[in-house]
Amino acid sequence: MARQFFVGGNFKMNGSVEAIKKIIGYLNDAKLDPNTEVVIAPPALYLLLAREHLKPGLEVAAQNVFDKPNGAFTGEISVDQLKDSNITWTLLGHSERRVILQEDDQFVASKTKAALDGGIGVIFCCGETLEQRESGKTIDVVTMQLKAVKDKVSDWSKIVIAYEPIWAIGTGKVASTEQAQEVHAAIRSWLKKEVSEKVAEETRIIYGGSVSEKNCKDLSKQPDIDGFLVGGASLKPAFVDIINSHL
């Protein structure tokens, strides 16, 4: 079974009411590849605005969610609140949260389990630093991040894995097509060995890290690259070209 191409747009801490309406208007009017699943992740403040204005068939993701039910957790958002607001996905484990907010593998895995148990799809981010890549530890780091999830989760059907080499995020440096494909293939082979052949075959593994309209075509042709998680370029008209890169 062919895996459906998946493109996510992570707006990070960017945008305003006006800017987000404009981006959404552009997406609503554009001719998008009907075979590509498209999800945008605006800041939490704009999730409802995005869902209200985005046309049906395009989905909205939170950039984060907490691993506990509603309660005394100031500043957090629960899985139930996302569901109640018709937000169907969440990003988890983005390197900016792992590094700046010091979220560890266990915490990210716990949030992943909470989201999945509550019926929200997870775009699970994993990736290595430049130092880890240069010392040959890329696959070890990425599989350790995935193992934390495997220890808590048995159903992978609503997980999209986003491989994002930290050294390529927002730097303009892109993993070469070969580097990206190599890690994606290693992740798929880890899934086959540690989870199941079915999960390895069906799970979408997408690439993130300075994806642009210039490099997306080549990357999208690789056998184990099933889409993209786009940062800065998702705020620009070029996002449409990336969504359509698989045509």
The reply to whether 32 falls in a domain is no
Q: Which of 96, 103, 164, 184 is catalytic?
A: 164
Domain that holds residue 236: 77-246
96 carries an active-site annotation:
no
* Predicted pLDDT at 1: 64
The reply to whether 15 falls in a domain is no
The reply to whether 168 falls in a domain is yes
Mean of pLDDT over the chain: 96
pLDDT tens track for 104-140: 999 999 999 999 999 999 999 999 999 999 999 999 9
The reply to whether 215 falls in a domain is yes
Q: Which of 59, 94, 96, 128 is catalytic?
A: 94
What is the total count of domains within the chain? 1
CATH number at residue 116: 3.20.20.70
Model confidence band, residue 152 (pLDDT cutoffs 50, 70, 90): very high
The reply to whether 108 falls in a domain is yes
CA dist 111 and 93 (Å) reads: 9
The reply to whether 34 falls in a domain is no
Residue range 84-101: mean pLDDT, rounded: 97
* Predicted pLDDT at 103: 98
164 carries an active-site annotation:
yes
The reply to whether 47 falls in a domain is no
pLDDT tens track for 185-200: 999 999 999 999 999 9
